[in-house]
Amino acid sequence: MTNLKSKVMSLGNRLAVKGEDRSAAFIRAWAIVKAGGLELAVKGVTFENRQEALKRLAAYAPDQVRAFIVPEPENKADPAALAVRVGVQGGRGLFTLGYVPREMAPVVSAIGGQLPALRIVSGSYGYTGKTTFGARVALAV
């Protein structure tokens, strides 16, 4: 129980420093710690050639794909943006797959700089049945 309480206190304090109301910060921290972490959809995966990249990434075993959350202070649209970059083991670098949702960026940055787990999801839409791909990242607390 002490470990749980210390995790809530630590995360709650970090969220409060990021500008969230102190009471709301601890309520959110409790929910995140109780759930064991946070999982969220990566935004922007339909732009540029990201759908093709996701299709290719889906062919790899999960332990071969590494995800990183990287701050992008030079981003003109949002200086607080957090990019989700991925790379394949033995590959030639990192690819920007998308972004952490804007409203979740302060929470994700408060959780810390651990490596997130990446999950590729797919589904079809419309009467054509065209398959689209998405990505979710999970951060443990």
Alpha-carbon gap, residue 50 to 134, rounded angstroms: 9
Burial of 61 (0-12, 13-18, 19+ CB in 10 A): exposed
Q: How close are the terminal C-alpha atoms of the chain, in Å?
A: 15
CB 121 within 8 Å of CB 54? no
Q: Which tokens is 57 given? A: 């990434």
Q: Which tokens is 43 given? A: 């935004």
The residue with tokens 């889906």 is 58
Q: List per-residue pLDDT tens for the chain, 141 residues long.
A: 568 888 899 989 988 887 778 999 999 999 999 998 899 999 999 898 999 999 999 899 988 999 999 999 999 999 999 999 999 987 788 999 999 999 998 889 888 766 788 888 887 766 666 788 899 999 988
Confidence (pTM): 0.84
